[in-house]
Amino acid sequence: VNTYLDSRVEHGRRLSRFIVFGLVIVLAVGALTARLFYLQVASGTQFAALSTANRTVLEPIPAPRGLIYDRNGRLLVSNVPTFSVKVRPADLPNSQRDAVVERLAALLRADASEIHGTIDANPGSAFDLVRIAQDVDQATANLISEAGFELPGVEVVVEARRSYTDGPLMSHLIGYTGPVAPEQLADLRALGYQPDDLIGKAGVENQYEAELRGIYGAESVERDATGRRTQVLQTVRDAQPGASLTLTIDTQAQKDAERALRWAMKKIGMTRGVVIAMNPQTGEVLAMVSLPTYDNNLFARGISVSDYDKLLQDEDKPLINHAVQAHYAPGSTYKLVTGTGGLADKEISASTRLTTKAYLTLGSTKFYEWNRRGWGPCDIYCGFGHSSDTYFYQVAGMLGADRLGYWANQYGFGELTGIDLPGEVRGIVPTNEWKQNALGAPMFAGETYQAGIGQGYDAVTPLQLINAFAALANGGTLYQPQIVREVVGPDGTVVRPFEPKVLHEMKVKDSVLRVMRNAARETVTLRHTYNLVDMPIKIAGKSGTAEFGTPDAKGRLPYSSFFVGFTPKNPVKGSFNRTDSELVVMAFAHDSRTVGNAATEIVKYFFQLHYDIEKDYRLPELLKRGNFYGND
């Protein structure tokens, strides 16, 4: 293949080979230039956009969550800045994941497999942040941020954490915030929730989530390849802080209620109880204590699995607000319904005397008086004051199950009170229709007797019970109990002022309720409640003892005690003929099994604390565990 050029050999140099080599250089560099032109000039704008997209992301700006105050302006919940460690899975290369997680686990003193699990359980996309740890101390947070390049995809974020001033004292009312559950996320996404977002989980935090949360803003953020924010480019939308709440709760009353309840629980060795105080004129809840309780700050800091399990395993269910989320047989306090119904339906009058005795017989069944004796002929004052079972068996029998149920509904039993707390239960008011639906048979007469004294199928929440007595005290208006008094916007303006909400006016004459109020006063003056009458304030009320559960070896059932009491507006000089009461208090002592009525002692102690009564009227001997069975 000897061409002319090829033959021009001079000192081993062939021009043709040089020319071809030169051509190769030109062609190769030309090809590179063409490719470069295509990348940089022809599709330059497209790549410029990719480069911008690479480093800018739209990130939400969390809105400061609304604060919560008590009725006197005491700060109950605040936001404190804390460090959280988060991972953006898209920025964590698979090849490095094990090493990065291993390193994180060491820094956080956590379990690597748990971190892997958290990342894998991420309900969002790979571009959403996953919270690995919260409330991380500053030193650890610094270590992790400084190791940025060795920990790709890991970010340290300053987040606001809820700080609950009084912790366990208010946990059931305020609740807590926690991470959004994966199954909720689909629905919440539309509302702007992030997979690593916090949401109100219980109490007011949950009930008023929409108000407290505010509206998240958005900003475009430039970041580097490891996901570190390098700068904020632009705030697309400012965050709107959430609204604040003012509760109806009076912290002092709440503390007094808890103190009174804890005192009795400790004395008795009892494990579960409720105290509620309300203003019957408005439905405002001044105090609501359910024990045992839990510390909502544990949840705010990210509760450990073992702590959470402990709360779940506790058989007294500390996570349940027993005031609204559980129902119990109300015992003799329910005689309010029976008495009111009897008078209103004119089955009896205030002066009608019914014979009370050791027991009534219905068929072959004996229905005993609680003291196995009775008081002879008794009017409503005597019957309610002594809490005579045989008196109210007879009234219940006159009314029948359905009329009894009607009057129970009039007092709000069997209906939700509508309190602004989550998870309220309805209770049970046994009527023929109810029993037909539930058990497939109408009410037997004996069951109606039991229903008339708050036993049998009757089930009420402590809140329903106090709300019924509030209606008695205020002259027949059933209010919706409220926990949140006002919603205050971030600029300080009241968005939703307080307004009492009426559920219904009871269809009953004022005179009937006046008789029942004075009958409730008789309970105190007849010393059925021991020395309550000796106190320098006037109290009317009703105690109750309710059996539950299964009998012991001697055939005796465990029992709980109730007391609901109220005072006139002027507690010293006032009269129960009036309907001006501004304070009604109830106590529930679950499984108390004491010689006297434990709940009465709790309410007594609360009144002592609340009205600053210096003399101590408490009777600790009544709180001894005993076999005095059926003290009513």
Partner 1 sequence: MGVIRAEPIRATDWAAKSVGAAWRAFDLQLATYATLLAATGLVMAYTNSVDSIGGGTALEAGTTFTRGLMWAGIAVVFFILATVFDYRWLKTLAWPVYAFQLGLLVLTLAIGDGVGGSARWISVGPFTFQFSELAKILMIVVLANYLASRHGRLDSLRTILGACVLVAPPLALVMLQPDLGTSLVFGAILAGMLWMSGASLRWLAALAAVGIAMVPIAWTYVLRDYQKERLTSFLAADKDLQGAGYQLYQSQIAIGSGGWMGKGLTNGTQAQGDFLPVQTTDFVFAILAEELGFVGAMVLFGLFVLLLWRVLVAGWRSRDPFGTMFAAGLASMILFQLVVNVGMVMGIMPITGIPLPFVTHGGASLVSMAIGLGILQSVNIRQTRAEW
Out of 114, 224, 402, 547, which residue is the one contacting partner 1 (CB under 8 A)?
Answer: 224
- Give the whole-angstrom CA distance, residue 229 versus residue 221: 7
Site track 141-170 with partner 1 (rule: CB under 8 A), x = hit? --------x---------------------
Q: Should residue 628 be labelled a site residue for partner 1 when binding is judged by CB under 8 A? A: no
- Give the whole-angstrom CA distance, residue 569 versus residue 368: 38
Q: Should residue 20 be labelled a site residue for partner 1 when binding is judged by CB under 8 A? A: yes
Of 114 and 222, the one with the shorter C-beta distance to partner 1 is 222
- Helices (H) and strands (E) counted in the chain, each on its own, are 21, 25
- Give the whole-angstrom CA distance, residue 632 versus residue 618: 18
Q: How far is the CB of 3 from partner 1 (least distance, A)?
A: 10
- Write the burial class of residue 441 (CB in 10 Å: 0-12 exposed, 13-18 middle, 19+ buried): exposed
Q: How far is the CB of 33 from partner 1 (least distance, A)?
A: 6
Out of 5, 48, 312, 494, which residue is the one contacting partner 1 (CB under 8 A)?
Answer: 48
Of 11 and 573, the one with the shorter C-beta distance to partner 1 is 11
Among 4-12, 302-310, 399-407, 463-471, the segment contacting partner 1 (CB under 8 A): 4-12
Q: Should residue 9 be labelled a site residue for partner 1 when binding is judged by CB under 8 A? A: yes
Of 32 and 80, the one with the shorter C-beta distance to partner 1 is 32
Q: Should residue 441 be labelled a site residue for partner 1 when binding is judged by CB under 8 A? A: no
The structure tokens listed for 510 are 């004022």
Q: Should residue 43 be labelled a site residue for partner 1 when binding is judged by CB under 8 A? A: yes
Residues 195 and 128 sit within 8 Å (Cβ to Cβ):
yes
Q: Should residue 24 be labelled a site residue for partner 1 when binding is judged by CB under 8 A? A: yes
Residues 317 and 506 sit within 8 Å (Cβ to Cβ):
no
Among 10-18, 104-112, 537-545, 608-616, the segment contacting partner 1 (CB under 8 A): 10-18
- Give the whole-angstrom CA distance, residue 355 versus residue 174: 50
Q: How many CB atoms lie within 10 A of CB 47?
A: 12
Q: How far is the CB of 196 from partner 1 (least distance, A)?
A: 21
Strand partners, 160: 81
How many residues sit close enough to partner 1 to count as binding (CB under 8 A)? 48
Q: What are phi and psi of 388, to 5 degrees?
A: -70, 125
Name which of 458, 462, 459, 632 is nearest 559 in CA terms. Answer: 632
Q: Should residue 232 be labelled a site residue for partner 1 when binding is judged by CB under 8 A? A: no
Q: What is the distance in angstroms between the CA of the first residue and the CA of the last residue of the chain? A: 126
Name which of 277, 299, 314 is nearest 175 in CA terms. Answer: 299
Name the 3-class secondary structure at 564.
Answer: strand
Of 12 and 363, the one with the shorter C-beta distance to partner 1 is 12
Site track 52-71 with partner 1 (rule: CB under 8 A), x = hit? x-xx----------------
Out of 4, 5, 23, 39, which residue is the one contacting partner 1 (CB under 8 A)?
Answer: 39
Q: Should residue 497 be labelled a site residue for partner 1 when binding is judged by CB under 8 A? A: no
The structure tokens listed for 418 are 């509508």
**Interface residues for partner 1 in 93-132 (CB under 8 A)?**
93-95
Q: Should residue 349 be labelled a site residue for partner 1 when binding is judged by CB under 8 A? A: no
- Give the whole-angstrom CA distance, residue 123 versus residue 126: 9
Name the 3-class secondary structure at 541.
Answer: strand
Name which of 421, 368, 412 is nearest 393 in CA terms. Answer: 368
Q: Should residue 234 be labelled a site residue for partner 1 when binding is judged by CB under 8 A? A: no
Out of 230, 349, 511, 570, which residue is the one contacting partner 1 (CB under 8 A)?
Answer: 230
Out of 5, 23, 46, 266, which residue is the one contacting partner 1 (CB under 8 A)?
Answer: 46
Name which of 445, 449, 469, 456 is nearest 388 in CA terms. Answer: 449
Among 17-25, 179-187, 437-445, 458-466, the segment contacting partner 1 (CB under 8 A): 17-25
Q: In sequence order, which ranges of 129-202 are alpha helices (DSSP H)?
A: 138-146, 171-174, 182-189
Q: Should residue 1 be labelled a site residue for partner 1 when binding is judged by CB under 8 A? A: yes
Give contact residues for partner 1 (rule: CB under 8 A). Answer: 1, 6, 9, 11-14, 17-18, 20-22, 24-26, 28-29, 31-33, 35-37, 39-41, 43-48, 50-52, 54-55, 93-95, 149, 222-226, 228, 230
